[in-house]
Amino acid sequence: MSLINNAANRPLNEQFTETPDVSGALQQNYQPMVFEPVGKIVQGFQVAETGNPQNFRGVVQPFSERALLLKPEGQRSWTWLLLHSDTALVVNTDDVVIWRGKQTRVMSRKDYSLYGFIEYNLVQDWTESGP
């Protein structure tokens, strides 16, 4: 007769040797996506937008009601998005990108690369507001 080993059989102070990689579960929902970073430089007294498109795989979903309620009242009507992407996407907080034809600002970045993904909070930005 064999014993069933589960969490009840482990002492609380036992260290796990590996971080679980959950990217496999997320990849089932990932879709090919493209972000076009918006950067502004001055060339010959003219402002020009720059940026090379970044191809990656990810999944976007709208914020939940609960997450929206945590936002200040004036920001609740904005278009907030939660993005889980593979680690190929490299954008930082306050970067501006074009996604599906709309200017979008990166509001936060959480690095879960040990788990196989990066989480971003995005908000639809005002057109022409710049980076």
Q: Does residue 19 surpass a pLDDT of 60?
A: yes
Q: Does residue 13 surpass a pLDDT of 80?
A: no
3 within domain boundaries:
no
Q: Average pLDDT in the 10-15 region?
A: 62
pLDDT of residue 122: 93
pLDDT of residue 14: 63
> 63: closest CA among 50, 74, 79, 51?
79
Structural domain of 37: 21-124
- Tally the domains of the chain: 1
pLDDT of residue 121: 93
119 within domain boundaries:
yes
pLDDT of residue 72: 76
**What does the pLDDT look like over 64-109, one tens digit per residue?**
888 877 777 777 778 889 999 998 898 888 888 888 888 899 999 9
